[in-house]
Amino acid sequence: MMKHAAVKNAAVKFAAVLCFALIAGFGVGAYAAVPEYTSVGEIAKDENLYRDFQVQGEYEVTGTQVPVGCNIIAEGSGKFRTAAFKKGLPPASQRGDEKQTGTGEINAQGYFVSSTKDSDVQIEFKIAPGTLTAAVKGDSQPVLRKVERKSPTLGLKAPEGAVVLFADGKASDLFTKANVNETDKTLWAEAETKPFEKRPYTLHVEFMTSYMPTARGQGRSNSGVYIDERYECQILDSFGLDGKNNECGGFYQQAEPKVNMCYPPLQWQTYDIDFAPAKYDADGKKTANAVISVKHNGVVIHDKFEPKHETPGRKKEGAEPLGLYLQGHGNKAQYRNIWLKYN
C-alpha cells in the first residue's frame, strides 16, 4: 500500500505535471453542428451526460502543501481535458505562470482516472458530490474539492441615471432585434440596439455560455459583445484554455486578456466595460484611438486597451456613435442584466 506522502506526491503530479493534450482552437466557421445544452435541466435527462457535467469544473487541491488549482473540462463520452495551476486558480495564476495540461476519463469502475506523462503512476479519483477523492490502493488522501465561484459584480443593479437595456426578461425599446428566452427570462445571442446617445460610457453585461462538450475551438458557444458595434470582446467557452485573442475576453487579432477568467459553461459571468470612442478631426482623420478597459468576472483583463482599428465581423471604425451588438455565431449564448451609464 502506498504511503500518504506518496499519494500526496501523486496528486501534485496530477495537478501540476499532467500529460500534454491541449486542444488548439479551429478557425471561425470551421466547425460542424454539435449538441448544445442551454440549461442543467436538459443535461439531467441523460445520466452519463449529467455525470460528465458534474465532474467538469474548477477544483482546489487539499491535503498538499502546494496551493494547486485545477480545471477539468468535459469533452464528451467520459473524456476530459485538464489544466493545473500551481499557484492556484486564476487570477492567482497569471499568464506565463506554471501550468500543465493533460487528459482524464471515467473508467469502467466509475472512477476519474488520470495518468501523468512522465510516470507509470495511474491516479484514480473516486467521484463524490462536489469532490474527487484519491483512491490509490484504498488510500484516501488528498482531495480535489470542487468550487463554484461567482463574479463580484454578478447581479449588480443599474445605478441612478443608467440606461437599462435588458432586465427581468424584458428588452428595452432601444433594441431593434431581441429574441427573449421566455422560459428563463434571458436574452439569446444575435441581438442589437439603436445607436446610443452619448459616449463615453460604462457597460455592464452578464452572459452564460452553453454546455457543448463535443464541440471544439471556435465552435464552443461562440458569441461576442461588440462595443460601439465595432470592437468585439469575444465570448466563448474558453474554460481551461490559455486565453488567446480569439478566446473569451480577447479582442480578435489585437489583444489577449491579461488572464483567462472564463468560468465553466452554464455559470453566469460578467463583463464590466469602460469605453471611450476614437477621436476624429474635421476632415474625418482619426487623431486618437478608442480606449477600452474590461473586467471579466471582476478581474481586470484589459486596462486602457487602444484598438488600432475595428475587429472583424461588424461595422467599420468611424466618428458616428453606434450601439451594442451581441453576436449570434450559430450558438445560443444567453444574456441578462445589461445596462450602461454615460460618463
Indicate whether 152 belongs to any domain: no
Same-domain pairing of 179 and 328 = yes
> Per-residue pLDDT tens for 200-240?
999 999 999 999 999 988 889 999 999 999 999 999 999 99
Q: Which amino acid is at 254?
A: Q
Same-domain pairing of 110 and 226 = no
Structural domain span for residue 110 = 4-147
Query: Residue 229 sits in a domain of what CATH number?
Result: 2.60.120.560
Least confident among 61-75, 86-100, 143-157: 61-75
Q: DSSP label at 308?
A: S
Q: b/e map of 180-210 (b: 16 or more CB within 10 Å)?
A: bbeeeebbbbbbbbeebeebebbbbbbbbbb
Sign of CA dihedral 320, 323, 329, 330: negative
Same-domain pairing of 94 and 139 = yes
Residue partners of 47: CB distance under 8 A and separation at least 6: none
123 vs 245, more confident: 245
pLDDT at 180: 97
Same-domain pairing of 240 and 304 = yes
Same-domain pairing of 139 and 238 = no
Same-domain pairing of 191 and 64 = no
Same-domain pairing of 97 and 244 = no
Same-domain pairing of 102 and 167 = no
Query: Cα 140 vs. chain centroid, distance in angstroms?
Result: 32
Same-domain pairing of 107 and 205 = no
Indicate whether 23 belongs to any domain: yes
pLDDT at 175: 98
pLDDT at 28: 32
Same-domain pairing of 14 and 127 = yes
Same-domain pairing of 207 and 92 = no
Q: How far separated are the first and last CA of the chain, in Å rounded?
A: 65
Q: Which amino acid is at 262?
A: C
Same-domain pairing of 103 and 172 = no
Indicate whether 158 belongs to any domain: no
The dihedrals phi and psi of 8, each to the nearest 5 degrees, come to -60, -45
Number of structural domains found in the chain: 2
Q: DSSP label at 17?
A: S
The answer to whether the CB of 158 falls within 8 A of the CB of 141 is: no
pLDDT at 115: 60
* 293 three-state secondary structure: strand
